[in-house]
Structure 1
Amino acid sequence: MAATSDSHRADFGNGSEAGPSSGDMLLFWGCFIALIATAFGFIVRTQIINDWGREFDLNFTQKGELFGVGLWPFAISIILFSLIIDKIGYGKAMAFAFLCHVVSAVVTIMAPTLAGDPSDPGYKDRGYWILYFGTFIVALGNGTVEAVINPVVATIFRNQKTKWLNILHAGWPGGLVLGGLLSIGLGDVSWQFKVALLFIPVVAYGAILSRCRFPINERVAMGGSYLTMLQQVGALGALIVVGLIVREVGRVFVIPDMVQLVIIGALVGGYGLAVRSLGSPLFIVLMLIMIPLATTELGTDSWITPLMESQMTAMSLNPGLILIYTSLIMMVLRFSAGPIVHRLSPLGLLALSAALAAGGLVFLSQAQGAVILAAATLYGLGKTFFWPTMLGVVSEQYPEGGALTLNTMGGVGMLAVGVLGNPFLGFIQDTRISDALRQEHPAIYELVTGDRKASVFGEYTPIDAQKVDALLNDETEERQAQAAIFKEIRDRESKRALLTVALLPCLMLVSYIGLIVYFATQGGYKPKSLSHAEEAATEY
C-alpha cells in the first residue's frame, strides 16, 4: 500500500466555515474504515476466545492475557510512530499498519498447523504462544492506525476537534457491530473463517488511503517546536508509558525485576535529561485518568461476551449480541456528538458518562434475564463518549503537543487495559470462582482447579479448562450434579467481577468533577489554538 507523500500538501486541513474538501472527506472515510478494521479483530477475539480455550486448554487468566496482548502493544507503535511520523509521513506508517494486519491474520489462522501434532504434550503451550504472537502483531498495526488517524482528523478539523474525533471513533463501535454480526452470521464454522473477516476492511482502507494525500500536522505547519512537543509529556509521562511496557515485556520474556527497573530508569532518565521537563501537570493527570477509563470501556468489552454467555444462552440469544447492542448505541451517539458536546462541555460530558457507566456496571452484575438488556443500555450510554472525548480534550488543550500528546493518551489507555485491566478481570474470575468452590464445594474444587500459577497480580489457582470439560462431559449422575453446581458458581462469580470494575468510573467521576472545578477557577474550559497566543474564542 502506498500513499502520496505528506510533503506534497502544504495546507493542514480545512477546519474553517467553508468546510472540508472532497479530498479531505475521502481521507476521513479511509481513516474511518481503518478504525473499523481494528474493531473487527477485537470483536472476533471476544467471540472465538472460548474456541481457543477449548482447542489449546486456556484458563481464564491466559484468556485475559490474550485479550491484553491485543491491546498493550498498541502503545508501542502509537507512541513510537508519534515521535517520527512527522518525518516519515503518514502514508508510510499506514503501509506498516496494513502489513501488520495481513501478517497477523495469516499467523492466527495457521496457529493449529504451526503448533504441530495435537497429541504432542507441547501442542497447547505452542498454540497459546502462536496466538499471542499473532495478536501482538495485530495490536502493533492497530496502534499505528491510531497514530495516523487521530492527528490527521484533528488537523483537518482543527476548529471542531472534539466533534470530529467523536465521529471518527464511531468507526470503532461501527466495526464491532458489523464484524460481530458477520461473525455470528457464520454460525458454527471453524474460528479460522471468522478471523479471515479482518481482510474485508483491511483491503478497503488500503485501497482508499493509497489514493489519498495526507496533510501536514497542525504543529508542524505552524512551526511548533519538536522539543516543546516532547516536554508536554515529560519525564513523568514517560515513566508511566515505559514502566507499563517494560513490566509486560519483562513478564513475557521472564526478565528479572531488577533488570526491568534498570531499563526503566535508564530510558526515563535519558528522556528526562533530553527534554528537561517533568511534563505538564494537567496532562499527567489526564494520563492517570485514562487508565481506569480504558479498563472500564475496553476491559469490560473484552469480557462481556463470555460473562453474559449463560444468561444470553438461556434466552436463546447469541451472547455476542450484548457487545453488538452496546456498540450500536455508541455508534449512533458518536455521530451526534457535536450538539451534545456543546451543550455539556467535554468535561461535563465525561463526568456524566462516568456516572452512567458506574450504574450500568453495577446493574449488569446483578441483572437476570431480559433485564440484562436494560442494564446493557445504561452501560452503553455511559461508555460512549469516554475515549474520543478524552482525545478531544487533549487535542484542544495541547495543540503544541502535536501527534505525541494526542497519541500518548490513547497509548496509555491501551497499555493500561492490556497490561492491567484485561488480565485483572481474568484474575478476578479465576480467584473468585476457585475461592467460592473451595469454601462451598471442596470436592468440586479439587476436580476443576489446576496447579497454582503466577501473574502480575500474584499467584492464583486457575480453573483448568480441560478438567472442566471432563466434568461437563461425564454423564454419571454424581458428576452431572457437580457440573450443575459448578456452572452456577462460575456464572455467579464471573458476573460479580463487574462490581469491582464499577469502582473505576466512580474514581473517574471524582476526577472529572475536580477538573471542572479547576477550569472554573481559570475562567472556564476553552480550547487552545496553536496559531494564536491567546485561547480560541469558542468557550463551553
Structure 2
Amino acid sequence: MKDRNDKLVFWGCFIALITTAFAFITRAFMVNDPGLWPETFGLNAVQGQELFQAGIWPFAISIILFSLIIDKIGYRSAMVFSFVCYAAYAILAFMAYGTVNAEGLDGQALKDAQAQAYKLLYIGSIILGLGNGTVEAYINPVVATMFNKDKTKWLNILHAGWPGGLVLGGILTILLGAKVADDWRVLIVIIAIPAIVFLLMLIKAKFPVNERVAAGATYREMLGEFGAIGAAIAAYLITKELGKVFGWADLTVIAIVAVLVIAYGLYCKSPGRPMMIFLCIVMFPLATTELGTDGAITGIMEGPLKEIGQNPLWVLIYTSAIMTVLRFFSGPIVHKLTPLGLLATCALLAIAGLFFLSMTTTLVAIFAAATLYGIGKTFFWPTTLGVVAEQFPKGGALTLNAIAGIGMLSVGIVGGPLIGAMQEKSVETAVQEKMAEGTYAKISKEDTYFLGKYNAIDGDKLKTLPQADQDKIGEVSTNAKQGALAKITIFPAIMLLCYLGLIFYFKSRGGYKPVEIGGDGGGH
C-alpha cells in the first residue's frame, strides 16, 4: 500500500466486511436460540427461517444490481448507503423490542404486538441484506483496482474479513451469553461497532477510480464481458428468488427473465466471454461445496461437542479461524501454485475432507477431517474473484460482483435443496435396510423441489411409532446423512475437472497471465 489513504481505504473495506459477518452470525444466533427471538416474538421454526432468509436473498440481489450503477454513483455513496441500512436495521430491531415489551401486554394484545414486531423485523432484515450486499458491491472493485497487479492475493486478504468477523462475532456472542439472554439488543450493538468504525474511516477517504473507467473502457463493454448469457443466468436466479418470496408463477418468472435478457442483449450486443460464462457455471458446484455443506458438517460436529459440554458455535469459530489465517498468508501460496493451481488443489482437499467426514465418528477424527475440508474451501471464493478480476478487467464491478451474487443465489435455489435431497435419499435407503419392511412408507411423505419429487421423513408420522423405533430411526438417519457427504464429493470433483481443463487451456497459450485492460481481454 502506497500511502496512508490506501491503508485507510483497504482496512476500512476490511472492517466493512467484518460488519457483514457480525450481522450474519448474530442474526443466526438470535433466530435459532429458543430463548431469544423465538421466545420474544413467539416465532415458530418456519417464521424464524423466513426472517433469516429475508437477510440473505437481498444480499445476493443487491451485490449484482449495485454493480450496474456503482461507477456512476461512486463508492462513497454506496458505502454511506450500506451504513444507513445498518442504522435502519438497528432502529427497526429496537422498535420491535419496544413493541412487545410495552406495559400491560397480555393474551391477544401480546399476540398482536408480536405480529407487528415480526413485520418490523422482516423489513429490517431485508434492509440489512441490502446493506450487506452493497458492502460487497463496493469493496471488491475498490481492492481489485488498488492492487491491479496482484488482485488474487489482495482479494484473498480482503476476504479474510468474513471468517475473521465470524470468529470475533462468535466469541463475543458466547462470552456475552448471560447478557444476551437478558437483553438480545446487545447483539445489535455488536453490529453497530464495526459499522461506525468503517464509516469514520471511509467517509473522507479518497477512493480510487475503477480500473475499467480509468482505462476508458465503456459501460457497454463492461456489460458485454458478462454478456446476454451471463445476464440470463443472473436474471433467472434473481427472478426465481423473488418469485419464491412474492409467490410468482413459473410462467411469470420466465416472462420477466425473457424481457430482461432480450433488453440486455440488444444493448450490449454480446453473448459474453466464453470463459466468464464457464466460471459462472462452475460457481454452482463451488458455492454448494463451500456454503451448502456447512449446515450438514455443523450438524455432525454438534453432537460430540454437546457431549463434552461445549457450545456448538465453536464449530463455526474453529473452521472460520482456519480460513482467516490462511487467507492472510495467501500471497506466497498463489505465487507458487498460480490461481488456477490453487483452486484445483483446494478442490482435491475438499474431496478428501468431505469423504473422511462421511465416515469418522470420534471428536478428534471429525475435527481432523473438518480441518482438511476447511483448508480446502478457504480459497475457493476469493481466488475465483481474483481470476475474474485478472482475466476480465473490462468487466469492472459487474463481472467481479455478479459471479459472487450468482454463487450466493445458486446455493439457495440449487445447491442447498440438492444436498438436502441427496441426504434424504440416503436416509430412505438406510431406513429400508435397517428397519422392518414397510416402516419407511409409514413415516415418510412425498415432496418436490426444482429437480422433481423426493421422499422425506414426516415428523408427525414418526411420532406414531414406539419410542424405541423412533430412537433407532433417529440414529439411522443421523448416520445416513453423515454418510451422504461422500456423495457430495461430486461437486468438488466436478470443480477439479473444470480447473484442470482451464490449466491445460492456459498452458496451451503460454501459461496463466493476468490480462492488461488495454488488450483484447484475452480472447476467452
> For the superposition of Structure 1 and Structure 2, which TM-score range results when normalised by the shorter chain?
0.7 to 0.9
Number of equivalenced pairs = 507
Instruction: Give the distance between the partners of 1:193 and 1:441, measured in 2 at CA.
Output: 50
**Aligned match of 1:136:** 126
CA contact (8 A) 1:291 1:413 kept: yes
Q: 1:139 offset after TM fit, Å?
A: 2.3
**Aligned match of 1:94:** 79
Matched, 1:263 2:256: yes
Q: Which amino acid aligns with 1:24?
A: D
Q: Which amino acid aligns with 2:486?
A: L
Question: Does the residue aligned with 2:68 lie in a helix, a strand or coil?
Answer: helix
- Taking the TM superposition and a 5 Å limit, the aligned residue runs for 1:181-192 are 181-187=171-177, 189-190=180-181, 192=184
- Taking the TM superposition and a 5 Å limit, the aligned residue runs for 1:128-527 are 133-187=123-177, 189-190=180-181, 192-193=184-185, 195-196=187-188, 197-369=190-362, 370-426=364-420, 440=435, 455-456=449-450, 458=452, 479=467, 481=468, 484-527=471-514
**Aligned match of 1:84:** 69
Instruction: Give the distance between the partners of 2:422 and 2:455, measured in 1 at CA.
Output: 11
Q: Percent identity?
A: 49
Q: 1:23 offset after TM fit, Å?
A: 0.5
Superimposed CA distance per residue, residues 79-122 of structure 1 (whole angstroms, 9 cap, x where no aligned partner): 21111111111111112211222333554576688799887999
Q: 1:261 offset after TM fit, Å?
A: 0.9
Instruction: Give the distance between the partners of 2:157 and 2:107, measured in 1 at CA.
Output: 46
Which has the higher mean CA deviation after the structures are superposed, 305-314 or 81-90?
305-314
Q: 1:57 offset after TM fit, Å?
A: 3.0
Question: Does the residue aligned with 1:279 lie in a helix, a strand or coil?
Answer: coil
Question: Does the residue aligned with 1:26 lie in a helix, a strand or coil?
Answer: helix
Q: 1:110 to 1:484 in 2, by over 3 A?
A: farther
Q: 1:403 offset after TM fit, Å?
A: 0.9
Which has the higher mean CA deviation after the structures are superposed, 490-499 or 286-295?
490-499
Which has the higher mean CA deviation after the structures are superposed, 318-327 or 86-95?
318-327
Q: 1:205 to 1:460 in 2, by over 3 A?
A: farther
Q: 1:489 to 1:259 in 2, by over 3 A?
A: same
Question: Does the residue aligned with 1:278 lie in a helix, a strand or coil?
Answer: coil
Instruction: Give the distance between the partners of 1:437 and 1:63, measured in 2 at CA.
Output: 30
Which has the higher mean CA deviation after the structures are superposed, 69-78 or 153-162?
69-78
Q: Which amino acid aligns with 2:26?
A: V
Q: Which runs of 5+ in 2 are unaligned?
A: none
CA contact (8 A) 1:173 1:330 kept: yes
Q: Which amino acid aligns with 2:249?
A: P
- Taking the TM superposition and a 5 Å limit, the aligned residue runs for 1:114-133 are 133=123
Instruction: Give the distance between the partners of 2:415 and 2:184, measured in 1 at CA.
Output: 27
Q: 1:172 to 1:193 in 2, by over 3 A?
A: same
Question: Does the residue aligned with 1:213 lie in a helix, a strand or coil?
Answer: coil
Superimposed CA distance per residue, residues 226-278 of structure 1 (whole angstroms, 9 cap, x where no aligned partner): 11111001110001000111112112211111111111111111111111110
Which has the higher mean CA deviation after the structures are superposed, 525-534 or 124-133?
124-133
CA contact (8 A) 2:424 2:456 kept: yes
Instruction: Give the distance between the partners of 2:352 and 2:474, measured in 1 at CA.
Output: 26
CA contact (8 A) 2:38 2:48 kept: no
Q: 1:326 offset after TM fit, Å?
A: 1.3
CA contact (8 A) 1:71 1:418 kept: no
CA contact (8 A) 1:57 1:124 kept: no
Which has the higher mean CA deviation after the structures are superposed, 522-531 or 497-506?
497-506
Q: 1:533 to 1:254 in 2, by over 3 A?
A: closer
Q: Which amino acid aligns with 1:297?
A: E
Instruction: Give the distance between the partners of 1:436 and 1:164, measured in 2 at CA.
Output: 46
**Aligned match of 1:20:** 2
Instruction: Give the distance between the partners of 1:454 and 1:210, measured in 2 at CA.
Output: 48
Q: 1:198 to 1:306 in 2, by over 3 A?
A: farther
In the alignment, which of 494, 513, 529 is matched to residue 516 of structure 2? 529
CA contact (8 A) 2:22 2:166 kept: yes
CA contact (8 A) 1:229 1:401 kept: yes
Instruction: Give the distance between the partners of 1:268 and 1:213, measured in 2 at CA.
Output: 36
CA contact (8 A) 2:358 2:485 kept: yes
CA contact (8 A) 2:346 2:379 kept: yes
Superimposed CA distance per residue, residues 365-411 of structure 1 (whole angstroms, 9 cap, x where no aligned partner): 32222211101110111011111111111111111111111111111
Q: 1:145 offset after TM fit, Å?
A: 0.5
CA contact (8 A) 1:68 1:417 kept: no
Q: 1:500 to 1:109 in 2, by over 3 A?
A: farther
Q: Which amino acid aligns with 2:264?
A: Y
CA contact (8 A) 1:304 1:323 kept: no
Instruction: Give the distance between the partners of 1:108 and 1:430, measured in 2 at CA.
Output: 36
Q: 1:70 offset after TM fit, Å?
A: 4.1
CA contact (8 A) 1:67 1:418 kept: no
Q: 1:47 offset after TM fit, Å?
A: 4.0
CA contact (8 A) 1:86 1:217 kept: yes
Instruction: Give the distance between the partners of 1:46 and 1:382, measured in 2 at CA.
Output: 24
Q: Which runs of 5+ in 1 are unaligned?
A: 1-18, 536-540
Which has the higher mean CA deviation after the structures are superposed, 63-72 or 136-145?
63-72
Q: Which amino acid aligns with 1:75?
A: A
Superimposed CA distance per residue, residues 162-198 of structure 1 (whole angstroms, 9 cap, x where no aligned partner): 1111111111111111111111223364383464232
Instruction: Give the distance between the partners of 2:420 and 2:106, measured in 1 at CA.
Output: 29
